[in-house]
Structure 1
């Protein structure tokens, strides 16, 4: 059995789910999820709820690990007696009773992690690269089909995106500035990056673009983002579901993303086969994480 620990917001949960699905299909094992840590996220102090259930196709796979299963995981992680028993199995050449695969801040793709063996395998990490699941990429796209828009605002913008040479532009601020834990590793992308990214898109697709700006601080974006092309600053309507911005991003023809899993998925799920995607070269400069670890090779890194 494979148990995946879920932490963080929607983008992180999508990566964790994708790796779990890949391992479960490859190893033909049951897949279960540990939801206990969403309300006490290790990534920021911001409480996070389960958001994966917004995808209708994901629901059948979102099976919670049972209390006995989670208790057994905790025992192998915390009890010296259980740890000694597991070491003994390994020394005797037996399949481990329990294996832990964990990685948070290196974010590097390590294919050896996919070879983890154990009657019970616990997956604990971020897994922010398509390399973890590229062999089942189409299955993941099929799983991550959004529901119909709820808000009239989003419905109207969706029509505009299809009628223009639309470019999503995501400015992530929020907890990168306000949360002490997030600030240890994350930095906000500079205005210079966005200006260079817009020029890169124009050089590749022409000047007839319309930028659709998404942000968790849209007022700041309106005040500070100055580019010589039409801009639509997407403002969320009251009670608009949090995933609808990602859905709208995915409908754009091209993408300028932040160092954020939210806009990463918005761009990755975009269906334009000729899409241009620009990403920041330094993903998390404070901990020396570059985009090569996270961003697909076909995307432009600035």
Structure 2
């Protein structure tokens, strides 16, 4: 039996669900389920979004199944306490704090409970087609998204700027700064002649004030997808010809789901401010 805990925002949920799908294909003889219990009392994002967005119905672990190999927490508050005070059980597989790739995840048979974000495509690259078929967005219906989609071509470029909760955060600040975006735009312009840039951000005003001076193509600031429709930004990113991403799981997936066979993805070579961090981006992406 294998159980994957799912918790976090949309991008992290997608990484966890991708691991769930990978485990199901890797261990077809085992019962693979998900644990959603920590979403109770979790108010940081929009709940278990992937079920609503992608119409997913994963197999859910029962309380007794969770207790057999890990600890059951009825809500997010109890999990925050329990993860700090309760000892690790042998059947629990907690992601490395240094984000090191753990090859045993896909090799070790038997009971395991997976707690982490698993932000590494090596955990699921062998079932890429399954994941692409699973993470299919519903069609656009509103005028703004449809109009922008119509303008996109193979030389369109998405830019994701994540500020808000990243500003002042020691783990994430100082990575995707203005110099990063300047270099990323120059780099992608050395490969292609961008026809347009689509800018996605939780701080559009900062983008207007800082990006325009070194962008030569038309710019479209996407500021109309919010709340439960914010996933539409990721969907639009995946429709662009090429992607400049932030150190964010949201734009990571926007780029990964982009099925342009000639796409260029520009990403920060440093993902998080951790010493000896083992995080690894897809090898085919350009890191600066």
TM-score normalised per structure 1: 0.81
TM-superposed deviation, 1:32:
1.5
Q: Whole-Å Cα distance in 2 between the matches of residues 238 and 11 of structure 1?
A: 15
* TM superposition shift of 1:76: 9.2
After superposition, residues 1-302 of structure 1 pair within 5 angstroms as 1-28=1-28, 29-38=30-39, 46-56=44-54, 59-60=56-57, 62-74=58-70, 99-118=91-110, 120-162=111-153, 165-177=155-167, 183-187=169-173, 189-206=176-193, 208-226=194-212, 227-229=214-216, 230-237=218-225, 241-289=229-277, 293-302=279-288
* Partner SS, residue 271 of structure 2: strand
Compared CA separation, residues 76 and 297, structure 1 to 2 (3 A): same
Which moved further from structure 2: 224-233 or 266-275? 224-233
Within 2, Cα distance between the matches of 1:213 and 1:6? 29
Describe the shift of the 1:126–1:272 C-alpha distance in structure 2 as closer, same or farther (beyond 3 A). Answer: same
Provide structure 2 residue ranges, at least 5 long, that are not aligned to the other structure.
74-81
Change (3 A) 1:40 1:295: farther
Task: Give the secondary structure class of the aligned counterpart of 2:91.
Answer: strand
Q: Could you tell me how far apart the structure 2 residues matched to 1:122 and 1:20 are?
A: 11
* Deviation of 1:238 (Å): 6.1
CA–CA distance in 1 between the matches of 2:104 and 2:228?
A: 41
| C-alpha deviation, 1:288, in angstroms | 4.9
Aligned residues of 1:176 and 1:187 also touching (Cα < 8 A): yes
How far apart in 2 are the matches of 1:3 and 1:271?
Answer: 30
CA RMSD of aligned residues (A): 2.5
Asked if the contact 1:255/1:267 (under 8 Å) is kept, the reply is yes
Classify 1:135/1:225 alpha carbon distance in 2 versus 1 (closer, same or farther; 3 Å).
same
Distance in 2 (alpha carbons) for counterparts of 1:121 and 1:238: 37
Task: Mark the structure with the bigger radius of gyration.
Answer: 1
Report if aligned partners of 1:104, 1:126 keep a CA contact under 8 Å in 2. no
State the secondary structure of the residue aligned to 1:220. helix
User: Relative to structure 2, which stretch is displaced further, 263-272 or 215-224?
Assistant: 215-224
Q: Following the alignment from structure 1 to structure 2, what is the Cα–Cα distance between the partners of residues 238 and 124?
A: 29
Q: Deviations over 1:231-259 (max 9, x none)?
A: 11111256661210000000000000000
Q: Measure, in 1, the Cα distance between the counterparts of 2:116 and 2:103.
A: 14
**Any stretches of 5+ residues in structure 1 without a counterpart?**
87-97
**Structure 2 contact 225–233 (Cα < 8 Å) conserved:** no
Q: Whole-Å Cα distance in 1 between the matches of residues 225 and 162 of structure 2?
A: 19
Deviation at residue 12 of structure 1 after TM alignment:
0.5
Deviation at 1:131, TM superposition (A): 0.7
TM-score under structure 2 length normalisation? 0.85
Alpha-carbon separation, structure 1, partners of 2:146 and 2:61: 37
Structure 1 residues 205 and 21: CA distance shift in structure 2, 3 A? same
Q: Residues 160 and 39 from structure 1, CA distance in 2 versus in 1: closer, same or farther, beyond 3 angstroms? A: farther
